[in-house]
Structure 1
Amino acid sequence: MPTPLLSEEASQAVLSYPGSSSGGGEVEVPPLEVRLIAGSGPSGNRVDLTFFSDGYTSEERHQFFKDVKFLVDAIAANQTYHTVAPLMNFWAAYTPSKQSGVGVYGLPLDTPFGLYRDGTELRGLYYAKPEVARAACDSLGSKCDYPVLVGNDQLYGGLGGEFVTITPSPTNGPLVLRHELGHSVINVGEEYDGGYAYFGVNAAAEVEPHMPWEHWMSSPPTDGQLPHVERAVMPLQDYAWTMLNASTPWKATFKSAGTYARHLVRFSLSGLPYTRNLKVTLDGVDLGWEAKKGLGIDRWHYDIPRDVALDPGKHEVAFHLKDELLEGSAQLCSVEILEFGHPDEFNAEPGFYGVFPTFSETNETSYRPTNEDCLMRITNEPNFCSVCIEGLWMSLLSRVELIEDSTSTCVFDAPTGKWTRELSVDLVDLTDRGEYITSWSRNGLPLPEWANATRIEIPDVSALGEYSVDVRFVTEEIRADPHGYSTAYSAFTVEHHCRRH
């Protein structure tokens, strides 16, 4: 059994789980100090995210809890997961590491879960000890539905899957965490170009008369007609992951058909803190790239839109490093060229829902619901699109009962000497997220006088019978619920009259 400890913050619950062997005796469960960072209810009826420490030494214990609070506040306090936060609990589980930081060049440090980078590039953050992470999560029971492994590093990194990995990068940590949790919690694939996994509520392999998100489409097609596909093409996509040098610019060539109205140069960089460090050109023309202020050497994604058509034929994009002292740290991570049709061919307005093409790493086409309104496409974007938000609600509500408890009690009124039967349901508090609609019935007949009530009162003399209540949660963020996850039901049988004790 966990041993309660005195929390450093009076409002936080802290539990200590001593290290032990897992059930099979093969995997050692690391000792865990578990602290509730933010929560709304019992783990048995909530979805619990648990953040595990990796690369935090004993001296950095306090920093770990501070980092997790920063991440949780950033994603749940006022955006992204804010509306669904009442369905979730967020925990931090600390285990001391013998070494500080994360591994590089594929070599993990001496840490509980062995987080490491494949090279030095600011990209994926991999784990070497999934069996330990699995055992640690399992040891917490209902307090760990989705484990998140936090690597002690201040730069970009993360990965989705059975275990989400993340760093507390001040600039990128919350952005990457939102995105990777989208994969795990909503169970969706990518929306950005150049990936390989496109699935879930935000993706379609084919254009069909009824798209998965048709109930969100701004201009749905008439019955039997195919929806309009926004016209775009990707003539260049390259995950370069190359170190830049000052003597020779990195270049890539591509061909344009010359039939599109405008184009976008999209790329990501790391190790380039100042605008003076780099020049980006297209066909020899300086594109006027500017470094994100205050970024330092962390990774960032940049867009340079150009409201002109590319000429038909061959083109060249180039990255010129201007400071040789940055050789070995300045890196081009990825570059992409996109071309778009005229406004009547490609609707780029925020909030427009239609059918947009997405191009995979092999340039195969799938389809998504918005241009760039979703953080599953643009990591820098702080919010999900409506399709993904609805998917998030469905995923969480499928694991949470909206009726927390139901009670049948007797109340005696001394002045009148009469008994009253009270039937009530305690609902998950979704105040300000939407509204509950409740309908009561007795012996199969509706009780309209108790519409939208969570408690009804019946004179005891006429209270015997079968009662039921249907509950439905309504929010503008849910338009379709084919499985009824936003509904709940409870039944009561009143077989005996109340008695004075």
Structure 2
Amino acid sequence: MKFTLLASLVGALASLSSVHAHLYGDLASDSELLSHASLIVEGPSFAAPPSLEVVPLVLSGPPENRVNLVFFADGYTLAQRSKFLSDALYQAQDMTLNQTFNTVRPLLNFYAAYTPSNQSGVGTGGRALDTAFGLYRDGTELRGVYCSKPTVIRDACSSLGNLCNYPILLGNSPFYGGLGGSPTIVTSSLLNGPIVLRHELGHSIIKVGEEYNGGTSYFGVNAQRTATSPVSWAHWLTNSSAPLRAERSVMPLQSYVWTLLNTTKSWSTTFRSAGTYSRHHLKYSISGVPNAADLTVRLDGKDIGWVPEPGIGDDRWHYNFYGNSKLAAGAHTLEFVLRNPAIQGKAQLCNVEMLEFGSASEFISTPGHHALYPTFDSSNRTTFRPTNEDCLMRVMTAPNFCSVCKEDLWRRLLTNISLIDSVTESCSSAGNKTLEAKLVPVGQFRLPDNQVSVAESVTIRWLKNGVVVPKYANAAKIDLGKGAGEVVGNWTVEVAFKTEEVRQDPSGRLAAKQFYAVNAANC
């Protein structure tokens, strides 16, 4: 199915929300954001939005009762229309067919909105190309991607009405980059595009800050200021009866380097360890280094055996080195040695970080363990998160949200939609009046292509004139019979959804009811 919408004139007065480049541990400073002032403050637009060809990608139900996400094309020429549709479908399917958004897929619709650009690609050096929405990078580093036409994307989304709840600008670039906020900005990078997108939608939908170290924004259900009660995720704590404590760790090194490597002189830095921790974890990211022979990474003079992510090419990737031994007290050296002169000018070290942990009993790293894990901001101040490395809000390459974020994802998505799509009246083959509640397909009503491993169920109650009718319990379609006394009246259907991914629902988001008046018994 495909249809074309000609965007109508929109006089939108709402301003864009502020944005921040926090992808993969990238933090844009306040001064950097101010240098992109058009992203933050721009006046109303009275020009017609671009003409949009809207193509459904992944649909779960009627758009008026779903959360609708729309990919908008930027840097795709007329000849690249099919590439855009393929890129958008790839990202939509990656998000909904793997673990990340799979359980909430029945609440989501994804669309692609195509408008051609005069030039192909994403601008660099602070200059946009001649594209529909004017995406560009500050320099050539694989970091933030900015929008030079924020009112155009705002008005384009507004022109689609309820079909566009979350606009996503998809830039035609094979390399990592993006931006958070509204709109969310991603690129067509095969490895990084979907990873960036699901992380950014975590910010946009769940309304949480970061979990990685070295940032500035830590807030929402996944952030705790102190290691004392009350803890907002107390109902998820693995050892809820044990005294509260912070898992023991420290961050002796953290830096966003953004430096081009060369073969003349290696890049190195020193840091100090107290020598009182049992294990260590080195994190770093690089781009423009496709082969293992191109680079050597040394810790205290020892090669740690770096190898590139398979298929990464010149794109950026994050790497980890886990050391199961204590770092000695005193100074330590970390060194990156470029071996291949042919890749000078593109080989870049993006960031480095060293963490140290206590013993296995002092720092529990078991997946699924919920406690108070320290997170260190750009000034090395401490907040706390629910899990070690379970959450894609901390580890971009992780496939899932932690339980705390996933719980709030359900609650946020169900804020403006109902578990009941509609109630319809019809007649059976026997001539009996029937009522059917069309439900969002979760629990036992999930479709065959969206079966999940988590425990969940839907319970249904039917009431006539305010009185429960027990014989219709848990039936989505009920046969009322033929007699006026049985049929005519004010009917209510109540639906309650339970899933092990939600332990607390104080606002009743996982429940719904709908009223329906049957005025005649005859068919």
Same fold (TM over 0.5): yes
Q: How far off is 1:321 after superposition?
A: 0.9
Give the letter aligned to residue 324 of structure 2.
Answer: D
1:426 and 2:438 correspond: yes
Q: Which residue of 1 aligns with 2:340?
A: 323
Q: Map 1:117-266; keep pairs closer than 5 Å.
A: 117-221=137-241, 225=243, 227-266=244-283
- Alignment of 1:101 with 2:121, yes or no, is yes
Q: Look up the SS of the partner of 1:72 in the other structure.
A: helix
- Deviation track 1:196-234 (CA, whole Å, cap 9, x = no partner) reads 111122111222323212222211145xx5x22111110
Provide the secondary structure at the position in 2 that maps to 1:158.
coil
Among 492, 496, 516, the residue aligned to 1:472: 496
1:468 positional shift: 2.7
Residue 498 of structure 1: CA displacement? 2.1
Extract unaligned runs of 5+ from structure 2: 13-43
Partner Cα separation in structure 2 for residue 19 and residue 33 of structure 1: 13
- Give the Å deviation of 1:133: 0.6
Amino acid at match of 1:112: A
SS at match of 1:98: coil
Q: Match of 1:354, as an amino acid?
A: A
Amino acid of the structure 2 residue aligned with 1:293: P
Instruction: After TM superposition, give the deviation of residue 19 of structure 1 in Å.
Output: 7.2
1:256 counterpart letter in structure 2:
S
Compare 433-442 and 103-112 and name the one that shifted more: 433-442
1:485 is aligned to 509
- 1:156 Cα offset (Å): 0.5
Aligned to 1:15: 4
Q: Any conservation in 2 of the 1:213–1:369 contact (CA below 8 Å)?
A: yes
Structure 2 CA distance for partners of 1:411 and 1:152, relative to 1, 3 Å? closer
Q: In the alignment, what sits opposite 1:451?
A: 473
Match of 1:337 in 2: 354
Q: Which amino acid aligns with 1:456?
A: I
Contact 1:20 1:30 in 2 (8 A): no
Distance (whole Å) between structure 1 residues aligned to residue 179 and residue 418 of structure 2: 30
Match of 2:41 in 1: none
Identity over aligned residues, as a percent? 47
Deviation for aligned residue 1:455 = 2.9
Deviates more, 1:13-22 or 1:172-181: 13-22
Following the alignment from structure 2 to structure 1, what is the Cα–Cα distance between the partners of residues 434 and 5?
41
The amino acid of 1:451's aligned partner reads: A
> What amino acid maps onto 1:80 in structure 2?
T
Alignment of 1:30 with 2:50, yes or no, is yes
**Cα distance in 1 between the residues matched to 2:319 and 2:306:** 8
Distance 1:108 1:492 in 2: 54
Greater alpha carbon shift after TM alignment, 386-395 vs 260-269 = 386-395
Q: Partner of 2:463: helix, strand, or coil? A: strand
Contact 2:10 2:158 in 1 (8 A): no
Residues 102 and 115, structure 1, Cα contact 8 Å, conserved in 2: yes
Tell whether the 8 Å contact from 2:367 to 2:388 is kept in structure 1 after alignment.
yes
Of 454, 457, 465, 1:435 maps to 457
Rounded Cα–Cα distance in structure 2 between residues aligned with 1:97 and 1:265: 42
SS at match of 1:201: coil
- Between the aligned partners of 1:94 and 1:208, the Cα distance in structure 2 is 50
Q: Is the 8 A contact 1:22 1:29 kept in 2?
A: no
> Hey, what's the Cα distance between the residues in 2 that align with 1:421 and 1:49?
38
Matched, 1:395 2:412: yes
Out of 130, 133, 137, the residue aligned to residue 110 of structure 1 is 130
Q: What's 2:392 paired with?
A: 375
Bigger shift: 12-21 or 392-401? 12-21
**What per-residue deviation string (whole Å, max 9, x for no partner) do you get for residues 299-337 of structure 1?**
000000001111111111111111122111000000000
1:438/1:453 contact within 8 Å kept:
yes
- What's the CA shift for 1:405? 1.1
The match for 1:296 is: 313
CA distance in 2, matches of 1:413, 1:71: 47
Q: Which runs of 4+ in 1 moved over 4 A?
A: 18-25, 408-414
CA drift of 1:443 comes to: 4.3
- The aligned counterpart of 2:20 is none
| Contact kept in structure 2, 1:437 and 1:472, CA below 8 Å | yes
Code of the aligned partner of 1:249: S
Shift of 1:94: 0.8
CA distance in 1, matches of 2:116, 2:522: 59
In the comparison of the two structures, how many residue pairs are matched? 480
Separation in 1 of the partners of 2:435 and 2:364? 53
Confirm or deny that 1:81 pairs with 2:105.
Answer: no
Where structure 1 has 5 or more consecutive residues not aligned to the other structure, the ranges are 1-11, 415-419
What TM-score results when the alignment is normalised by the length of structure 1? 0.91
Q: SS of the counterpart of 2:342?
A: helix
Provide the aligned C-alpha RMSD in A: 1.9
Instruction: Output the amino acid matched with 2:368.
Output: G
CA positional deviation for 1:22: 4.6
Q: Report the equivalent of 2:423.
A: 406
